[in-house]
Structure 1
Amino acid sequence: MKSADKIKVGISIGDLNGIGSEIVLKTFEDARMLELCTPVVFASAKTITFIKKKLDYDITFQGIEDASQAIDNKFNVVNVWKENVNINFGEETAEGGKYAFESLRAATEALKKEEIDVLVTAPINKHNIQSEDFKFPGHTDYLAKELEGESLMFMITDTLRVGLLTDHVAVKDVASAITPELIEKKIRIIYKSLQQDFKIQKPKVAVLGINPHSGDNGVIGNEDDEVTKPTLEKIRSSGKLVFGPYSADSFFGSGNYKNFDAVVAAYHDQGLIPFKTLSFGSGVNFTAGLSKVRTSPDHGTAYEIAGKNKADHHSFKEAVFKAIDIFRNRQEYTELTSNVLKKQSKKI
């Protein structure tokens, strides 16, 4: 198992016109972070030098050509590109999207090659990053394809975890998108993640209803009675502690979420509005279900404050901490599972 100072945290820089570079540099301006991990930023020495001077950060870095050359106790910057890049803080530009993808693609390749151990992604603009090579609603779907996993958007803090049945889906399409197969798949992902990533042996999971008041017995839609309830009953019959569907409007305000290890929301805003209300600035977006660990802060590019040295970096720092914790938990889970299998094989 790796010691703490050997974990390599890969970082994609996000949209250069947003606050991504600012929160990355603010996080690692604290030299104590280098005792915890080895940061590997995918950008360029020229770009980081410009941003460092522009925002007046006291941080030194090591320019490298490949992630495998990363040096412990240094802030490493992989030269993904060599040319000068026009940085226009606060503006949505095609160039900003282009280099956001170049950084993400290089970081993902390094993750697949195990040149880095985990990936923390700074915010992208989901519009200007679109291209022939990137036709996805966001990081989650791109990484699911590249890492060949079953992904689930899992918003986490130390005390609250919210997963989504549907993530970047238009509200008008939510009900038709939620099928028994989708519910079973997402519950399976979240259940395994709670066990291997968060060390919870017998998780308790709550599921929110699709409709207001979970349909009020068919008065406000039949989806919860016809799809959600029978599917949850089937899942419970397999031994999983899965409960619901709960009426979403009172679930968080009443504090009921505290009785569960995770909450599964039907759609994006149903889960993320209460999550960000309760934990904004400390929440982390974790992509559960992948073969590799990926986290990100719980906010976007924040163009309105980009380049003004006003961005709060604590969510990004938490994303680094959570990526390291989850990586270690997975190592322990793998070792324990392997030992159990060895003992069982000896008995046979």
Structure 2
Amino acid sequence: MPETTKTVVLTGFGGYEKLEVQDLPRKDPGPNEVEVNIQASGINFAELMCRQGLYDNAPKLPGVLGLEGAGIISSLGSEVKSLRKGDRVLCLKAFGLWTEYAIVDADQCFVIPDEMTMEEAAAIPVNYITAYHMLFDMGSLRKNKSVLIHMAAGGVGIAATQLCKTVENVTVYGTASAGKHDIIKEMGVDYPIDYRTKDYVQEIRAISPKGVDIVLDPLSGDDSNKGFDLLKPLGTIVHFGAANMVTGKTRSLFSVAATWWKTKNVNPLGLMRQNKCVAGYHLGHLTHEKELVTSAVLDLIALYKEGKIKPRIDSVWSFDKIGDAMAQMNERKNIGKVIIKPHKVD
């Protein structure tokens, strides 16, 4: 067994050149930990924001990013009884999974079905847990409701669309560039809207004058105001990102300031008069809530086995191509999940 682990290391804040592939010493798992031979890891907007110095829960520099991954258990801590060496698992961690051999809490690893690929498994934790909690726990999604999903061609967008379609007669509006509409319709979006050429508020109002029941907002800024105004009475908007801040490969202070300035401030007295709900979701601050995470993951694995959800993999890159992989997301080219792997990809 190798004594080192191939790792993507964030060395500073800035462009793609701040990510270096290094061979770091392997570590032994603690009593309640396991070592996972990572076969695939996901890229999320959280990592893009970490690289730009915009993420509030980023690892200290130099640090290892990676919130999710999938692989094979290669070593067990002395107290671990629920898993076995050789188990195929997906895993979740508050960063540290962009490495070939990762140390992970045993209760953050979940055995995956034989039919699930490693790439699919790596695409589930962040996107699908996020979508699941927002729709079912915060949004109380049920039949005959309507949902606006921004960035519907992204990982969370596709996850949310698929989960909406597990509920009877849910109408899904999805924003995405025109070239992505055929695929998001295939995923289940009823009304694709090209946010680059059309006003999505006007488009939705033309179909549903009262608006929608749930808005999933990864953008913030002025879009948070538009989303709130689109809510029907008793509707809920869930804010879970600030993608409007990420406008290039390096941090733009103008974009940060503009997004912050335009984001709606909520007055509780106003909410009472309008009968609307505003929620915020941040999986990075929820990973310690093991029961909430475990319940969601087990439900998601069951839905996968039933054929009701299936991650769409946009592209797979080696660690050595991490800059290109990040650019795929940064430039909004992806349709589905961007995956990285430790070694060369055929």
Q: TM-score range by the shorter chain?
A: 0.3 to 0.5
Q: TM-score, normalised by structure 2?
A: 0.32
Q: TM-score, normalised by structure 1?
A: 0.32
Richer in helix (by share): 1
Richer in strand (by share): 2
- RCO (CA 8 Å, sep 6+): is it higher in 1 or 2? 1
**Which structure's CA Rg is the greater one?**
1
